[in-house]
Structure 1
Amino acid sequence: MPRIMKDHSAASLALLAALLAVGSAISAAQAAPAVHAARATDSLKDGDIVFHTSRSAQSVAVQRATGSRYSHMGIVLLRNGKPYVFEAVQTVRYTPLAQWAARGSGGHYVAKRLRNADTLLTPGAVARLRAGTSDFEGRPYDLTFEWSDKRIYCSELVWKLYQRALGVRIGELQKIREFNLNDPAVRAKMRERYGDKVPMDEPVISPVAMFDSPLLRTVETR
């Protein structure tokens, strides 16, 4: 991948974070379609990971920067037997699965599960995942894509929950310089919003890195 001059590329990290944040925030605010929204399903289990495409204009730039169809994700945890998505949007919170799915483009989503979930996701492991949510719930969205817990973005949330609760790293961390920074829409947003004050070597986990992880298998597509 071509190396980008520091004064142009440094802005891309904050750009990508903000695009994800704004895309998720706008998606969260949109009303669910009455007819086409995906319905909640009884087949999903604790620990499943769900992906969808935000319906915001900013989602296009996110997709181009990361090379992914999907621009938002979360982890499924059951509450009173009903599936909820623990996600990072304006703040980290639980959202009913049906409501979460309806925010995505066409109500479409893909659910994935650990390949060895039957042995790894024991009741104790699920309890640790649940306990780990308390470290993040209510935290604001990370507009600067920093690898800290003060603010959290969507894929960072799920990655850290699994890594800390189970010691499982789903997807390889990257540096922002590894993303596609040459797209005109991405470059325009960089110049518009962020200047040159973002570290290009900051660790980043993207939705597509987790989606493509060989540790996961697809269990549902809607």
Structure 2
Amino acid sequence: MSPAPWARAATAAVLSALSLAAAATADVQTGDLVFQQSRSAQSLAIQQATHSPYSHMGMIVMRQGAPYVLEAAASVSYTPLEQWAAQGERGHYVIKRLRDDARLTPAARTQLANAGAAFVGKPYDLVFAWSDDRIYCSELVWKVYQRALGV
């Protein structure tokens, strides 16, 4: 199934509006974005539609000092970063952060975590509709950043 045109646009918006810069794995923080090539059945269709080597993404949320990925998979949930990485092709993933990371104050990171928590439990959106009833990965990250920080 090919993502709807606005699904591609949402992914592009996440990438361009955030002005991403690489972040070191050892220095992950709430709000960092992670990208991987998933092993899902729709991975190739997503890559072709978005013109990206990556087909899945999430946002880091630090929980009890450990990095978790807030992701939309079967449902929106938190997955330990190491486990999330192992689920991708060859365990490869990249971490990105806002270039203007001065915007990511402790208060802003808390806002991101809280905005993300509001989506936990929502089912995955297989048809890439733009609603809060069901949600897909890049839509989740876009909405979290938009609602928390207006980005």
Give the TM bin, normalised by the shorter chain. 0.7 to 0.9
Separation in 1, partners of 2:47, 2:108: 32
Shift of 1:13: 4.3
Partner of 2:93: 109
CA distance 1:53–1:12, shift in 2 (3 Å): closer
Gaps of 5+ in 2: 8-24
Q: Extract structure 1 runs of 4+ deviating beyond 6 A.
A: none
Shift of 1:157: 0.3
Partner of 2:124: 141
Gaps of 5+ in 1: 1-10, 18-40, 169-222
More strand per residue: 1 or 2? 2
Partner of 1:54: 38
Instruction: Report the TM-score when normalising by structure 2.
Output: 0.82
3-state SS, counterpart of residue 27 of structure 2? coil
Partner of 1:127: 110
Would you say the 8 A contact 2:3–2:45 is kept in 1?
Answer: no
Shift of 1:57: 4.3
Q: How many residues align?
A: 134
Matches within 5 A, 1:33-112: 41-112=25-96
Partner of 2:11: none
Say if 2:138 is the partner of 1:155.
yes
CA distance 1:80–1:145, shift in 2 (3 Å): same
Separation in 1, partners of 2:135, 2:40: 20
3-state SS, counterpart of residue 42 of structure 1? helix
Instruction: Report the TM-score when normalising by structure 1.
Output: 0.56
CA distance 1:64–1:90, shift in 2 (3 Å): same
Percent identity of paired positions between Structure 1 and Structure 2: 61
Of structures 1 and 2, the larger Rg is shown by: 1
